[in-house]
């Protein structure tokens, strides 16, 4: 066996932007079509959001009305929260959009592309197209924060332009082009100003040509008889004017003196190779830290991605989607974590504004960061949170009259204010968001063994919010979360805003206890733990299922894409088959009753993550089948939100690696679970490099007859080991396991 393929390929150019191969560094992103005659590269940048008025709104000032709302809800007025508003219309966040496309047009198109091949190498991030001796390569540098393209034998004549006219581009953009020949090379500039705004963005491309002649040909550049062409591109969002010439100097400074100046016979290979080496030094080790091998057939591993997608039962497909998911997640994460579309879009009318939807999608996409050894993703996630905490404080003050923080359910990456809400989506009532968003940072701290002081400070603010917010009690003396909201569902017999949503109870308990753990020697710690212990338990409904609302009389609505009420199962450890078997059984019943509603990809894979925690390999397999059989993946191996490749969306692509890890290895700070929920379709394989929350790296090999795990601990710790019992009864016997830092520990397991 040759091993999994770390890339994908196609035998034809991309005809749709959704099928374009992707590269990115967490700031810039590119979508490469690979057409041999009109080579197009769509340029994206995380900062590019279109002003639409959403740069100004602030959270609604409703704190004075909160006590009356609480009274009405507790008195049984089930629609009271529909009036908890300042009357504003639903305001979408600023929509994410593409910058422009770099076009290389050759005037004599070939009818037959000949020996064409388009491919992307996940280990380097390089997208390559080869055709009749011509070779085009492009990547986004993580080291130099720029887009690098190199074309060898570009043809007798090639026109280079920066073109903003992409699908949905507004007609009233103020657009300016310029092309200047400088000692550094030819400088192409595209300036775009948004209508009615002082905001703009500028794209700058430095073209360094080897051989031939170069001349301006507005709106771009014409190159005749060149041996090679090197393009360096950056995008900047700004107000006022930007000094494009200074940017050109900065791009030229990336090339060593004497390289790529068009003299001599060396061509542009040397500067390109040096740029690539600097980038690869950062990208390759991160991508390769974790790998999955399912002993797939080598013939299937060699197939083009589009052909492999037509074989949904193939282990080779799962291998490639695992690899692609890691690659795309890493490539989309840097200054910010991935958006709904990752870091890419080819259309100005991106669904749901291409925002960060934080009540489910963002955490699902980044779910593999800690276990999958991608701290780069966690740091990007942290950058979003900590960059908006002042806005979160404003939300808490304005809506709830409280100290601390409340997170928004939607953000464009700039504003963390809550202003996106309506009657059907009362997202301003969602108080669980801060804990939900901070949970990945807590997982990272447990995995690394070091507590980030920024995370500690944020957790303390969440706890202070609950101190001020949790003031009402029920007849038994339990605290009540009121108003309460379970994204994005409603009781069958009440409105959306209500009382004691299960997610809110889990979040409040977790936030208060975790804040106390991070601040153990402060007077606050005991007070926070006491407050957490006064919250009511979860409720089991008449169907034997964990109820989505723990308030008596509220009836569950089962057919919904979100599974917010099972937050205690995943990603929290509040409900487990080992510690709380009764609640775990109720949670499993709730999972059985849950419908798929509109077949959203995130719903299926969220279902799979929870099923894995509940040791249900059959449900994991079914959820994966729904996605793999549902035609959710484009030829780029980026995914869609709905079946039949409807609506470009990164949820499935980025979440799938987390599902595959969770079904094989799970951990807490004091527990390791091996092979908890392996589908029958994955009878054997190897998972390498997974990190645990007790500070060990794990390599796992399994076959139907047994398994071997090698643990490489960085900390000395005693943990509990759980392995598959083969009958789904809760995980077999618990075994204590002592690990010593720096000493490998080999586990040999029987048939699972």
pLDDT at 257 over 80: no
Cβ within 8 Å of residue 741, ≥6 positions away: 695, 713, 714, 715, 716
Residue-level pLDDT at 111? 60
What is the dihedral angle through the alpha carbons of 657, 661, 664, 668, rounded to the nearest 10 degrees? -160
Are the CB atoms for 677 and 702 separated by under 8 Å? no
Do 268 and 396 belong to one domain?
no
How open is the CA angle 730-744-373, to the nearest 5 degrees? 70
Q: Identify whether 622 is part of a domain.
A: no
Do 284 and 393 belong to one domain?
no
What average pLDDT score do residues 647-673 get?
Answer: 98
For the stretch 377-428, pLDDT in tens is 999 999 999 999 999 999 999 999 999 999 999 999 999 999 999 999 999 9
Residue 715, domain extent: 664-752
For the stretch 654-666, pLDDT in tens is 999 999 999 999 9
Q: Identify whether 749 is part of a domain.
A: yes
Query: H-helix or E-strand containing 613?
Result: helix 601-613
Do 75 and 125 belong to one domain?
no
Q: How confident is the model at residue 107 (pLDDT cuts 50, 70, 90)?
A: confident
Residue-level pLDDT at 729? 45
Q: Identify whether 12 is part of a domain.
A: yes
Please give the Cα distance from 207 to 184 (Å, whole number).
Answer: 9
Q: How confident is the model at residue 261 (pLDDT cuts 50, 70, 90)?
A: very low
What average pLDDT score do residues 469-493 get?
Answer: 97
Rg of the chain taking only CA atoms, in angstroms: 27
Residue-level pLDDT at 727? 41
| Mean pLDDT (the chain, rounded) | 94
Beta bridge partners of 594: none
Do 397 and 278 belong to one domain?
no
Residue-level pLDDT at 539? 98
Q: Which of 520, 538, 556 is the last residue of a domain?
A: 538
In percent, the amount of the chain with pLDDT more than 70 equals 96
Beta bridge partners of 146: 141
Q: Quick one: CA dihedral 359, 362, 363, 365, positive or negative?
A: positive
Q: Which of 228, 254, 288 is the last residue of a domain?
A: 288
CATH of the domain at 219: 2.70.98.50
pLDDT at 36 over 90: no
Do 27 and 79 belong to one domain?
no
Do 279 and 365 belong to one domain?
no
Please give the Cα distance from 599 to 607 (Å, whole number).
Answer: 12
Q: How confident is the model at residue 110 (pLDDT cuts 50, 70, 90)?
A: low
Tally of domains within the chain: 3
What average pLDDT score do residues 463-487 get?
Answer: 97
Whole-prediction pTM: 0.96
Residue-level pLDDT at 108? 63
pLDDT at 263 over 80: no
Q: How confident is the model at residue 740 (pLDDT cuts 50, 70, 90)?
A: very high
Do 470 and 489 belong to one domain?
yes
Q: Identify whether 407 is part of a domain.
A: yes
CATH of the domain at 673: 2.60.40.1180
Residue-level pLDDT at 584? 98
pLDDT at 199 over 80: yes
Whether a cis peptide bond, with omega within 30° of 0, leads into 219 is: yes
Q: How confident is the model at residue 491 (pLDDT cuts 50, 70, 90)?
A: very high
Q: Identify whether 343 is part of a domain.
A: no
Beta bridge partners of 400: none
Q: Which of 473, 503, 538 is the last residue of a domain?
A: 538
Q: How confident is the model at residue 266 (pLDDT cuts 50, 70, 90)?
A: very low
Distances (CA, A) of 523 to 382, 439, 515, 530: 27, 23, 12, 12
Residue-level pLDDT at 385? 98
Do 162 and 263 belong to one domain?
yes
CATH of the domain at 368: 1.50.10.10
What average pLDDT score do residues 446-466 get?
Answer: 98
Both tokens of 685, joined, read 């394989």
For the stretch 580-613, pLDDT in tens is 999 999 999 999 999 999 999 999 999 999 999 9
Q: Identify whether 523 is part of a domain.
A: yes
Do 363 and 434 belong to one domain?
yes
Do 532 and 464 belong to one domain?
yes
Q: Identify whether 17 is part of a domain.
A: yes
For the stretch 111-154, pLDDT in tens is 665 789 999 999 999 999 998 878 999 999 999 999 999 999 88
Do 26 and 86 belong to one domain?
no
Do 275 and 409 belong to one domain?
no
Q: How confident is the model at residue 106 (pLDDT cuts 50, 70, 90)?
A: confident
Assign 3-class secondary structure to 388-438.
Answer: CHHHHHHHHHHHHCCCCCCCCCEECCCCCCCCCCCCCCCHHHCCCHHHHHH
């Amino acid at each position: 066996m040759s091993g999994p393929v770390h890339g994908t390929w196609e035998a034809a150019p991309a005809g749709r932007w959704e099928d374009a191969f992707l590269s990115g560094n967490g700031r810039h992103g590119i979508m490469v079509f690979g057409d041999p005659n009109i080579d197009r590269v769509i340029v994206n940048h995380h900062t590019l959001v279109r002003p639409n008025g959403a740069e100004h709104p602030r959270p609604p000032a409703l704190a004075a009305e909160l006590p009356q709302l609480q009274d009405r809800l507790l008195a049984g007025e089930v629609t009271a929260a529909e009036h908890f508003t300042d009357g504003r219309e639903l305001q979408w966040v600023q929509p994410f959009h593409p910058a422009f496309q770099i076009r290389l047009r050759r005037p004599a198109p070939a009818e037959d592309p000949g020996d064409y091949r388009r491919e992307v190498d996940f280990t380097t991030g390089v997208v390559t197209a080869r055709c009749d001796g011509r070779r085009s390569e492009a990547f986004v540098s993580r080291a130099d924060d720029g887009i690098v393209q190199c074309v060898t034998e570009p043809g007798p004549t090639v026109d280079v332009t920066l073109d903003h006219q992409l699908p949905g581009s507004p007609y009233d953009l103020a657009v300016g082009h310029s092309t200047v020949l400088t000692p550094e090379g030819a400088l192409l500039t595209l300036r775009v100003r948004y209508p009615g705004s002082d905001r703009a963005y500028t794209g700058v491309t430095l073209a360094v040509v080897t051989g031939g002649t170069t001349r301006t040909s507005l709106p771009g550049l014409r190159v005749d008889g060149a041996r090679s062409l090197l393009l360096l591109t950056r995008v900047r969002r700004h107000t006022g004017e930007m000094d494009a010439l200074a940017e050109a100097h900065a791009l030229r400074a990336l090339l060593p003196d004497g390289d790529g100046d068009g003299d001599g016979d060396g061509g542009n290979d040397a500067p390109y190779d040096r740029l690539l080496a600097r980038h690869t030094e950062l990208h390759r080790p991160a991508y390769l830290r974790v790998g999955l091998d399912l002993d797939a057939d080598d013939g299937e591993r060699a197939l083009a991605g589009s052909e492999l997608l037509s074989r949904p039962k193939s282990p080779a497909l799962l291998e490639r989607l695992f690899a692609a998911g890691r690659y795309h997640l890493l490539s989309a994460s840097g200054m910010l974590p991935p958006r709904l579309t990752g870091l890419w879009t080819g259309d100005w009318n991106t669904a749901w504004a291409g925002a960060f939807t934080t009540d489910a999608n963002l955490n699902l996409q980044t779910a593999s960061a800690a276990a999958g050894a991608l701290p780069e993703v966690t740091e990007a996630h942290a950058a979003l949170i900590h960059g908006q905490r002042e806005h979160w404080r404003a939300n808490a003050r304005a809506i709830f009259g409280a100290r601390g923080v409340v997170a928004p359910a939607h953000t464009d990456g700039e504003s963390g204010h809550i202003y996106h809400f309506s009657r059907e989506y009362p997202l301003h009532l969602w108080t669980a968001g801060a804990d939900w968003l901070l949970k990945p940072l807590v997982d990272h701290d447990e995995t690394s063994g070091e507590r980030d002081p920024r995370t500690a400070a944020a957790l303390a603010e969440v706890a202070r919010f609950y101190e001020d917010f949790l003031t009402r009690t029920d007849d038994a003396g339990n605290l009540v979360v009121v108003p309460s909201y379970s994204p994005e569902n409603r009781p069958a017999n009440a409105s959306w805003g209500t009382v004691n949503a299960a997610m809110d109870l889990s979040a409040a308990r977790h936030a208060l206890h975790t804040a106390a753990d991070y601040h153990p020697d402060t007077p606050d710690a005991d007070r926070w733990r006491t407050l957490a212990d006064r919250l009511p338990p979860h409720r089991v409904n008449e169907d034997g299922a964990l109820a989505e609302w723990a308030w008596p009389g509220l009836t569950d609505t089962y057919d919904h894409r979100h599974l917010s009420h099972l937050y205690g199962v995943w990603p929290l450890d509040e409900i487990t088959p080992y510690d709380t078997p009764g609640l775990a059984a109720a949670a499993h019943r709730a999972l059985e009753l849950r419908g798929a509603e509109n077949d959203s990809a995130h719903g299926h894979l969220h279902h799979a993550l929870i099923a894995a925690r509940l040791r249900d390999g059959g449900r994991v397999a079914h959820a994966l089948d729904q996605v793999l059989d549902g035609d959710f993946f484009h030829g780029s191996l980026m995914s869609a939100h709905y079946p039949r490749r409807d609506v470009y969306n990164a949820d499935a692509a980025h979440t799938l690696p987390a599902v595959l890890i969770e079904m094989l290895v799970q951990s807490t700070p004091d527990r390791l679970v091996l092979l908890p929920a392996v589908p029958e379709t994955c009878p054997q394989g190897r998972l390498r490099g997974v990190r645990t929350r007790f500070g060990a790296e794990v390599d796992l090999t399994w076959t139907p007859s047994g398994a071997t795990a090698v643990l490489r601990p960085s900390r000395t710790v005693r943990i509990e080991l759980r392995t598959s019992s083969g009958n789904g009864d809760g995980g077999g016997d618990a075994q204590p396991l002592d690990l010593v830092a720096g000493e490998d520990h080999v586990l040999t397991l029987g048939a699972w």
